[in-house]
Structure 1
């Protein structure tokens, strides 16, 4: 079955988050007809602590002065870290090392400026092989599909239906809401100082961010099936410590994402590839996924440009090679986890109470990823 000629595109990007919109923007002026499809209408809620580092600003060529005119943009110059139930320490920088953003605003901004056509509020229901690529939902013909729909991406599910294991998956819950003046007087979280509190077994952590009057509180744990109980323990701790009164917290929403490299995944096939959380690109140390989503989206765009409309699996293998070159290959050690096992078992809480380790490893390397060289693309 062939779709009507009027319902066609060269590249269909399924998912309008940072990975999908970055891929679309990377294909501007390529001569390709690019369509972004998403089941949600934008702006939409997204469970995420919500920060971006200066390398992300550079990758996106983001004009911060323009962005902050209408969107939350909170400079971050220090962090408060500790173990849930234990003492905390503050680490101060002499410059801005990150920016707090609201994902509902950030994702909408990136999608609107990407330059591609959009089809929002339209879930991908069916995808069938056709003579020229794919037939989507029985009516849209696409030569190449980019799966960018996050952890639950239908394109990723199709590529990995023979290996549906949920290993290395982090479950998260978060609430984000605007504080009233009275609530602000009761909350001790500082706008320029995100707070990170690790679970005692170091299999996850909770966070508190205050961004232009919006408070974001959440927690994520690897493989945790009873996350609500852990969340309650965390919010009780915040209440006892006088950081965030429990009674002001809004309703928590859930999400899931996959840590990168801990389980083999299929990311390419004939006329299809995955980017961002559809692959499972979150950092194994911090769970951060915005930067790798953007980078894989840009790597994919560069490769698509170079393919000269040959979207065979053999040709798309170049994309997989570039992803592995940038982020490393899959781990052969299934016991690898959110925090390295040896660290968790022997040194975790002691090291995290030291200023040196907190800054040089926990923050600089794991959360800010200052050791990574800028991505060369285009």
Structure 2
């Protein structure tokens, strides 16, 4: 049996950030992930300057041999209406490919990694956790996304019926002909809200790569909504007529709707495993990074790993992201006050789409970078 001070299940941005943040503590940390890296991870994939600053990423270094698409504008609309385009006059975000970004962050971790290793069992034994009858630690951290096996230890929360966002998307490298026929521009992601306000679709060009997808607060007729959107974008010339491969599905929880606990005895959940994606946008990279750093602060100071000691982490999450409001009547992407037909009018407004949709809901420009840094 190999003993560690803590084991992190999931080597994505949350898991790798936590491991790196704990390297100066002397703690013996193991990262386990079911996949090898670099691994395919389809994601619209943009990171704000706040994330780059918090992680201390050298943009020149990262941009060498990797996709780093500066974003200065957004096209936003409601399906069936014309879009509104806003120029922010500066770089407000960066498009990345998750296969590159996640591998880059994991490569910064000097400690041991057990990749291409599915977690088949997690058993409580003598106050410790034993994973796959091989690795043992008093603390296990769930960083493996919505379906993280560590999150399953804590159940689905008080109600047991959390609202899950389902999404389908595709990302591919365009041929010269596809690139020439694609009107979507790299510095201008496109966001298209569903008319029932239960989700939105996107077209995001990152260099020579194109990402297209749609997410909704449940799986009801997701494929139908996606197919209708793709056909509309093809007809408008926004995307190439010939798209390769099939769209891949994934799921996640929105912060205000998630009910699963964040801590228990010897357990912490971070990132999408904790259900931290921003409620209005579904964006999860920044919450994943910040939750990992907040967890690192608590782990450094903890004298034991009881639920009461680890609750400091839950308090820090609530202070940073707000108190969860499990209101089943609340809309997904938009607050209650944005309703039809008002939403149709608002989505034609340059002020609303820029100041509220883009800068507040998607970029969170009013929120300063987390003070804790790796």
TM-score interval (norm. to shorter): over 0.9
Say whether residues 1:272 and 2:267 are aligned partners: yes
Residue matched to 1:315:
309
Which runs of 5 or more structure 1 residues have no equivalent in the other structure? Answer: none
C-alpha distance after superposition, 1:319-377 (max 9, x if no partner): 11111111112214221231223313452111010101011100010011011122122
- SS for the counterpart of 1:176 is strand
C-alpha distance after superposition, 1:202-230 (max 9, x if no partner): 21111111112011111111113321111
- SS for the counterpart of 1:247 is coil
- TM-score w.r.t. structure 2 length? 0.96
Choose which of 315, 329, 332 in structure 2 pairs with 1:335: 329
Task: Give how far 1:132 is off.
Answer: 4.4
Which runs of 5 or more structure 2 residues have no equivalent in the other structure? Answer: none
Say whether residues 1:175 and 2:170 are aligned partners: yes
C-alpha distance after superposition, 1:128-187 (max 9, x if no partner): 112241111112111210100100001111111565744321100110010111111111
Residue matched to 1:200:
195
Note if contact 1:167-1:223 (Cα within 8 Å) is conserved in structure 2: no
Task: Give how far 1:47 is off.
Answer: 2.9
Choose which of 131, 140, 143 in structure 1 pairs with 2:138: 143
The alpha-carbon distance between structure 1 residues 187 and 166, as it changes in their structure 2 partners (threshold 3 A), is farther
The alpha-carbon distance between structure 1 residues 185 and 166, as it changes in their structure 2 partners (threshold 3 A), is farther
Say whether residues 1:230 and 2:239 are aligned partners: no
Note if contact 2:44-2:211 (Cα within 8 Å) is conserved in structure 1: yes
Aligned equivalents of 2:194, 2:282: Cα separation in 1: 14
- TM-score w.r.t. structure 1 length? 0.95
Aligned equivalents of 2:75, 2:274: Cα separation in 1: 31
Give runs of aligned pairs for residues 1-378 of structure 1, distance below 5 A.
4=1, 7-160=2-155, 165-308=160-303, 310-338=304-332, 339-377=334-372
Deviating runs (4+, > 4 A) in structure 1? 161-164
Aligned equivalents of 1:249, 1:165: Cα separation in 2: 38
